[in-house]
Homo-oligomer: A and B are copies of this chain.
Amino acid sequence: MDAIMLFGDSLTQGGWEPGGFAQRLAYKYARRMDIINRGLSGYNAAWGLEVFRQVFPRADQVGAQKIKLLVLWFGANDACLPPKVQHSPLPQFTENMNTLLTLVRDPTSPYHSPQTRLLLITPPPFSSLQRGAILRARTPPEPLDRDQATTRRYAAAVKAVGEAHGVPVVDIYEKLWEGAGGTEEGLGKYMQDGLHVNAEAYGILYELILASIAEHYPELHPDNLPFVFAPWDEMIRTEDPKATLKSRYRDV
């Protein structure tokens, strides 16, 4: 089976929660494409880049699963305030996101993959109300490690990277911020802890991703991908069961 790879931080790793975007995509793409979740809780794009070079198939790699779509979702940890170890200055973050795209697109890259479509997701808005309450309750209390204006700048950087490379961007930052009425109070319905989104927000993200696929990569939309193996009720009509049960994509 071909695959969609989700690559990012805890927001991606948590996509396997019930109602998470990985779970929803896996359910929707069942028997069409696999969902590979390479979410790394707490990682920024710089650390992600090191891991990417170990998990993304190299161009000369024999027998690797085909990644038809790569979804990149970093920024939430890069936007940490110094002196947090996850902090990555904005120009560095932009460069790392550029590098991730270039690794896949540059014909001279060892990871060059012309068959891989790309999609970027902006980091979601941050709730200092929720996150602040959690950090203050720790022993000893911790100061706020992010702020809204900074996270917004990292979201804008993702959009700029997408525009520069002609890669579609799912702007979950803007969508949730609008849905929250532009206030951190309003974000409560979308977030678990001020940082991680809940099933409702994952559902919105899932719909935006499917809409973006429909618009930019319709050949990868689930409605346009037949089951790799025949639906069972074709077996009622077939005179050649073995042939009917052959993969529709590959000779094996």
Contacts and interface: CB of A to CB of B under 8 A. Distances in A.
Contacts of A23: 16, 18, 23, 26
Contacts of A53: 252
A201 to B, nearest CB: 15
A14 to B, nearest CB: 8
A43 interface: yes
Interface in A181-210: 199
Q: How big is the A interface, by class? A: 35 or more
Nearest to A13: B30
Given A47-B232, A85-B236, A241-B47, A31 B40 contact: yes
Interface stretch (A90-98, A131-139, A242-250): A242-250
Nearest to A36: B34
A164 interface: no
A39 interface: yes
12 contacts: A1-B55, A16-B23, A18-B19, A34-B36, A40-B232, A47-B235, A51-B229, A54-B229, A54-B246, A54-B252, A77-B232, A86-B235
